[in-house]
Amino acid sequence: MSTKKTVDVLQGVIGGAEASSLLPHEATTHNAEPVHHGHSHAGDSTHAGGHHLLQVEDLTISFTMYDPQASSFFRAAKIKKAVIEKLSISVHAGEIVAVVGASGSGKTLLADAILGLYEPNAEVSGRIWFDGKLQDAASLTALRGNGVSLVPQSVSHLDPLMKVGRQVQGFAKSETPEERKIRQRRLFARYGLDESVNDLYPFELSGGMARRVLLSCALMDDPRVIIADEPTPGLDLDLAVKALQDFRAFADGGGGVLLITHDIELALRVADRVAVFKDGTVVEETAVANFASADTLGHPFSKQLWHALPEHGLKVCP
């Protein structure tokens, strides 16, 4: 976390659970109990080791700011505004969870929280488990790039002063320089990036090329969880499908993916479950199969999203 105040708030809330680092499950499958821990499960959801791969519970993130309703900025009092409130979400080993919702609802802030990235004026409370172990501010930071990888929304995450080939190679920490180079070039070839792209700087890339470079960065590491924050805008359909297929292959190999996206139709092609995000929290976690009909969705906002899909006539949910 970026400030001691934020660290103390997070650790203070977690402190009561220190006696046990595991979030236990009595069963490793949920065929007989599809709804458990506040969410429904996909048909093959499993809990390797008796726990979720990634579990977030009651996450609240508030920011200290000047009151925007004050009559004068210079006389404005400071207030605390919660942007994410009592949010819970989980990712099982071997699955993709798609987080869908409106812009500005806090989805990217969720990704930052899991990665231990906070602004100095943030106050954070809640509990986050990774692979069954309760995390604190320091351990979340240590996991970033060492177990949890990010495909960021903004291409500004690339170093403008370093050639992209060298940047991507730097994400594979445990290999020799030659092995890193081989893996990076294979990834570039997979995503249609020519050999000459190695020697380009980020400003010389198109938007779609930059997103493919960011995806390559995440896959260079050997993560257990990938957080993909809007990874497909700027990609044509074929490349977008290819990117999601790689996430699918990663999950099928035992990893977990938290896919933050506006493209519900594309997400439904590869995801196992959908977390519907509204006003800073998850209002429903449900299996993708439940998006076959509005009748199998529980929350009114989920039903609205279903009716808004083109194949359902772009209708307003009654």
Domain count, the chain: 2
Residue 302's identity, in one-letter code, is S
Whole-Å CA distances, 54 to 43, 171, 225, 298? 18, 22, 8, 23
134 and 205 assigned to the same domain: no
Handedness of CA 152, 112, 43, 305 (dihedral sign): negative
User: What's the pTM?
Assistant: 0.79
In this prediction, residue 46 carries a pLDDT of 54
CATH of the domain at 240: 3.40.50.300
217 and 233 assigned to the same domain: no
Per-residue pLDDT of the chain (318 residues; tens, 9 = 90+): 333 334 434 543 433 333 334 444 444 444 444 555 555 555 555 555 456 899 999 999 998 888 877 777 777 788 888 889 999 999 999 999 999 987 777 888 899 999 998 888 889 999 999 988 999 989 999 999 888 999 987 788 899 999 999 999 988 877 788 999 999 999 999 888 999 999 999 999 987 888 889 888 988 877 899 999 988 877 788 878 888 888 898 899 899 999 998 888 888 989 999 999 888 889 998 889 888 888 889 899 888 888 888 777 666 555
In this prediction, residue 50 carries a pLDDT of 54
SS3 120: coil
- Residue 282 belongs to a domain: yes
Is 307:315 a contact under the CB 8 Å cutoff? Answer: yes
Handedness of CA 134, 150, 225, 144 (dihedral sign): negative
58 and 143 assigned to the same domain: yes
* Domain region containing 185: 154-222
- Residue 262 belongs to a domain: yes
306 and 216 assigned to the same domain: no
- Residue 318 belongs to a domain: no
SS3 260: strand
Instruction: State the virtual CA torsion across 26, 28, 33, 39 in degrees, nearest 10.
Output: 100
Q: Which of 173, 207, 222 is the last residue of a domain?
A: 222
24 and 96 assigned to the same domain: yes
In this prediction, residue 26 carries a pLDDT of 40
Beta bridge partners of 66: 78
- Please report the beta strands in the chain, taking only residues with DSSP state E, as ranges in sequence order: 35-36, 39-40, 54-66, 78-91, 95-101, 122-130, 133-134, 148-151, 225-229, 256-260, 273-278, 281-287
281 and 180 assigned to the same domain: no
Strand 256-260, strand 225-229: pairing: parallel
Integer Cα distance of 288 and 273 in angstroms: 5
SS3 29: strand
